[in-house]
Structure 1
Amino acid sequence: MSAEKRTGFRLSLVTRWSALVGTLLALGMLIALGLDYFFPGHPVLVFCACLLAIVPIAIITIRSQIQPILSLFRALEGTVASYRDGDFSFSLHWPQNDELADLIAAHNELGNVLREQRLGLVQRELLLDTMVQNTPVAMLLVTDFGPGSGAIVYANLAARQLLSNGRKLEGHQLGSVLEGAAPALKEALARGGDGLFTAGEAEDEEVYHLARSSFTLNGRRHELLLLRHLTLELRRQEVQTWKKVIRVISHELNNSLAPLTSLAHSGQELVRRGQTERLPQILQTIGERTRHLESFILGYARFAKLPAPRLEAYPWDVFVDRLADQVAFRLAGELPSAPAWIDAAQMEQALLNLLKNAHESGSRPEDVELSVRRVQDALRIDVLDRGAGMSDAVLTNALVPFYSTKRSGTGLGLALAREIAEAHGGRILLSNREGGGLAVTLILPTLPGTAP
């Protein structure tokens, strides 16, 4: 029977069984009247004869009615077991137009829905497996994961190519698979956490990013390992960065050398004519342009050759006094009593850049503030101004090296501050302030070797 609802004459179970019982009772009464007619005055004999006649008929009739229903219940039990096993291809038929027909129609409709859902799920699984197998990211699913151990339960094509020359990895131990892998990969897995590592040497050097996530499946701990090959992306980014560096340096050199050439030629003409009264002005301008060019080149050199910080305990009051001798600002709040574990020279350079940027933002000098305070297990340094702030696009790119919105800017001030903060184990944050202005925040560890 299909899942469509039956139409036409409908005879309910109650009506059919009531008619059956009524028929049996009427038949019993007719038999009793007939026997009483032939055997008057013998009520016991009539009753016993009536029972002997009607009971077999009632049993046979009721069994003939109940047997299809019992068969239907067994069929329902069988289809439910098939549904539990994931087989939704069965449907049932009931010839009567009654309540059981409605039950069978609903059951068949449920089977159709489950079958369609199973088909959609299979198609989605096939699509997902196709996508996972063809992604360039190597994927490994490992159970009972430990340092260099664990059974591989899933590996896509990229993982097979990377670790076993295309051979199947499922069922193998991760430790045995890694025996022929690069030592850098073994170290990255043993180290734990996400991160970059480099395999190979010189021209064969390859850069990978390892990401991992843990979860529990069927009561067992699993770990998903993702290995992404970043060499091509990093090389393209490196080329773009070098192009940008060359563009910026070329622009700055041309802006400085062109006027220097012009001024030198003018000085030469003045000397030839004997008009030396303007030479001091020309030489002063040449000196200013030369110092600017030298400062520009030194800025790039400092960024490119930033040494590892030498952390030492340094009193905050002495450090802030040194800053105040070089740039104006207002100190907000009290300084921490504990000394700072910093490379004083590098941190001074970073904060000088941030404070000078605050003055160049259009803020009034008295609105430029410096705040140093301890927040839980970290140190927070805020440089605040009331300038124009930054747009969303500028906030996104402000920390990128060589990105600048100033015509004469090098784009190294914030990038250098970021490099110094990260070298100290911290980070830098930018945000616009309510009421206007910018807040530049450095989050640093309070002690060397601790994370903020």
Structure 2
Amino acid sequence: MLRRLSSLEARLTALLALAGLAGALVFAGITQWPLPQLLAWAHKDLGLALRTTPQGTSGALLASLVVLLPLAFWMAGVVMSPIKRLLRALEGAVASYRDGDFSFSIAADRRDELGELIRMHNALGQTLREQRQHLVQRELLLDTVVQNTPVALVLTNAAGRVAYANIAARHLFNEGRSLNGLDFNEVLAGAPEALRRAVEGGADALLTVEMDGHEETFHISQRAFRLQGRPHRLQLFRRMTRELSRQEVVTWKRVIRVISHELNNSLAPISSLAHSGAELARRGQVERLPGVFASIGERVRHLHGFIAGYASFAKLPAPRPAEVAWPAFLESLALHCRFALRGEPPAQPGWFDAAQVEQVLINLVKNAHESGSPEDGVTLGLDLVGQDLRIEVADRGPGMSENVLAQALLPFYSTKRSGTGLGLALAREIVEAHGGRIALANRDGGGLRVTLLLPQHGASGREATIRQVPGS
């Protein structure tokens, strides 16, 4: 009941009633009493020529308005004053919230609707302050984690300028100095060419580059998204060299177990058959010896073939680069696998070991077909990029997961139940023996792209020598 009586509505009702009562009193005072009696007394006793009453009702109303207007303005100011103060306070609060300052509160002790609005506003401000504090703490924790992660992280805006970079990225690209605000393409100008091309490709990739006199293997992840309504791109550069070294140790242990298992499976029956043959010879049952020797020979041949497959990988001969004519090379390759040639081959001949590179391409095209890609989706591209020959085998299969991309080039790693895990590893060995590099990346729209970069220094050097002969 008290709250209802102290509400703003009750106050406005009381003021309106007071204004009405004041108007009625003024009108009665002018028309009934005491103004008519005062005017009559002044005329009779003082001899003043004054009208006894205003002319009619309209004159009385006009006189009432003259008296009531100042009173109305005063009462309106009394009613609107707290509302104006509250509106100014709310304007200041909204401006503070817009600037990110949630410390603004309104001090007022009222028990009406305005007081309830002020209390709700202050509660909202307190909630926003607490949430802001929690967000700041979370951002600080996230920034600490991101800054100290060993993965180099670079966030660029739509213009290609760096909006955020962690400590690992600053050390990788700018000798520890800040990258914020720099054009990332200009920053990459000092990076290895293979790394630049992988970033320009815009897809995940695994590649090996030479840095500081030794080789480093990187796994690159790139994602596009919108931040605060604007397009951004996030690039992650993860050094895989140490991880690959650990994986190689694990892989070689696995290989040793496989070889030991296979050797035991072959040597145990050979040992048993040899003992049986000796026993048969001792007993003079020589008619059964040919069968024993045949079984031993079969197990030996199986073991020889098993070891020869692994030995071919371990004893890969050094490449013998020579001039390669593209028509004959592509015609020979087409006899072993099916592919669609993308574009025209380079005008000048290639310079590499034709037999080894042909074997690499046969394995890659075969893998592309086995990935489930449509037959017309398997393509072969040949391009000259500076002093390098770029060979790309692409398909439209499902591509590879990040985990598979990170391990696909390891020896004996395979996702196929019956695979040996030597195809991509052999391709890597052959390409690196040529002084080149191999990179795997998922394609936009699905599929995998395997890129081989083979230096053509031998061919260019030989041509330079030929050009110098006439002038010598």
Tell me: CA distance 1:375–1:186, structure 2 relative to 1, closer, same or farther (3 Å): closer
Residues 1:89 and 2:103 aligned together? yes
Q: Residues 376-408 of structure 1: CA distance to partner in whole angstroms, max 9, x if unpaired?
A: 8459xxxxxxxxxxxxxxxxxxxx98799xxxx
CA distance in structure 2 between the partners assigned to 1:185 and 1:76 by the alignment: 55
Given the two structures, how large is their TM-score scaled by the length of structure 1?
A: 0.62
**What is the CA-CA distance between 1:139 and the residue it aligns to?**
0.8
2: CA distance, partners of 1:289 / 1:152: 63
| In structure 2, distance between residues paired with 1:7 and 1:25 | 24
Matches within 5 A, 1:232-271: 232-268=242-278, 270-271=280-281
Residue 367 of structure 1 is matched in structure 2 by: none
User: Matched residue pairs, number?
Assistant: 344
Q: In 1, are the aligned partners of 2:147 and 2:167 still within 8 Å (CA)?
A: yes
Contact 1:303 1:412 in 2 (8 A): no
Per-residue CA distance 1:37-62 (angstroms, 9 max, x = gap): 33245144765654444433332232
SS where residue 109 of structure 2 aligns? coil
Q: 1:93 to 1:233 in 2, by over 3 A?
A: same
- Aligned equivalents of 1:42 and 1:376: distance in 2? 113
Q: 1:435 aligns to what?
A: none
Rounded to whole Å, the distance in 2 between the matches of 1:114 and 1:64 is 33
Q: CA deviation at 1:124?
A: 2.4
1:66 is the counterpart of 2:88: no
Structure 1 equivalent of residue 173 of structure 2: 163
Question: What is residue 392 of structure 2 aligned with on the other side?
Answer: none
Query: d(CA) in 1 for partners of 2:286 and 2:180?
Result: 87
- Aligned-partner residue type, residue 236 of structure 2: L
Tell me, yes or no, if the aligned pair for 1:212 and 1:226 is still in contact at 8 Å.
yes
- Alignment-mate amino acid for residue 251 of structure 1: H
2:324 maps to: none
2:137 pairs with 1:137: no
Q: Unaligned regions of 5+ residues in structure 2, if any?
A: 38-51, 320-328, 339-357, 379-409, 428-445, 453-472
1:37 paired with 2:33, answer yes
CA contact (8 A) 1:401 1:415 kept: no
Deviation readout 1:183-241 (Å, 9 max, x if unpaired) = 43234334543211212389932110112223455676432211011112211111111
Task: Single out whichever of 156-165 and 92-101 deviates more from structure 2.
Answer: 92-101
Identity of aligned residues (%): 48
Query: What does residue 194 of structure 1 align with?
Result: 204
Cα drift, residue 276 of structure 1 = 3.1
In structure 2, give the amino acid aligned to 1:42: T
The answer for the alignment partner of 1:286 in structure 2 is: 296
Q: Which residue of 1 aligns with 2:350?
A: none
Corresponding letter in the other structure for 2:264: N
Counterpart CA distance in 2 for 1:207 and 1:52 is: 94
Partner of 2:8: 13
Q: CA deviation at 1:156?
A: 0.5
| Structure possessing the higher radius of gyration over alpha carbons | 2
Counterparts of 1:4-403 in structure 2, within 5 Å, are: 8=3, 10-35=5-30, 36-38=32-34, 39-40=36-37, 41-44=52-55, 50-144=64-158, 150-200=160-210, 204-217=214-227, 221-268=231-278, 270-271=280-281, 275-300=285-310, 311-312=333-334, 377-378=376-377
**Aligned in 2, Cα 1:245/1:157: closer, same or farther, shift over 3 Å?**
same
Deviations 1:16-49 (A, max 9, x none): 1221121132233334444533324514476565
Q: Distance in 2 between matches of 1:403 and 1:212?
A: 25
Is this contact kept in 2: 1:9–1:97, CA < 8 A?
A: no
Q: What letter corresponds to residue 205 of structure 2 in structure 1?
A: G
Q: 1:250–1:376: structure 2 CA closer, same or farther, 3 Å change rule?
A: closer
Residue 122 of structure 1 and its aligned partner are, at CA, apart by 2.0
Assess, with a 3 A threshold, how the Cα gap between structure 1 residues 202 and 93 changes in structure 2: closer, same or farther.
closer
* Cα offset, 1:129, TM superposition: 1.5
Aligned CA distance change for structure 1 residues 19 and 127 (closer, same or farther; 3 Å): same
Mapped to 2, the partners of 1:61 and 1:163 lie a distance apart of 72
| CA distance in structure 1 between the aligned counterparts of 2:423 and 2:178, rounded to whole angstroms | 43
Deviation for aligned residue 1:413: 6.7
Give the Cα separation in 2 of the matches to 1:20 and 1:157. Answer: 69
* Contact 1:401/1:412 (8 A) holds in 2: no
Residues 202 and 210 (structure 1), Cα distance of their counterparts in 2 relative to 1, 3 Å cut: same
The 1:250–1:315 alpha-carbon spacing in structure 2 relative to 1, beyond 3 Å, is: closer
For the 8 Å contact 1:10–1:97, the answer to whether it is kept is no
Closer, same or farther: CA 8–51 of 1 in aligned 2, 3 Å: closer
Moved more, 228-237 or 288-297: 288-297
The SS at the match of 1:170 is coil
Q: Would you say the 8 A contact 1:403–1:412 is kept in 2?
A: no
**Residues 413 and 421 in structure 2, CA contact (< 8 A), matched pair in contact too:** no
Q: TM-score, normalised by structure 2?
A: 0.60
Give the partner amino acid of 2:24.
M
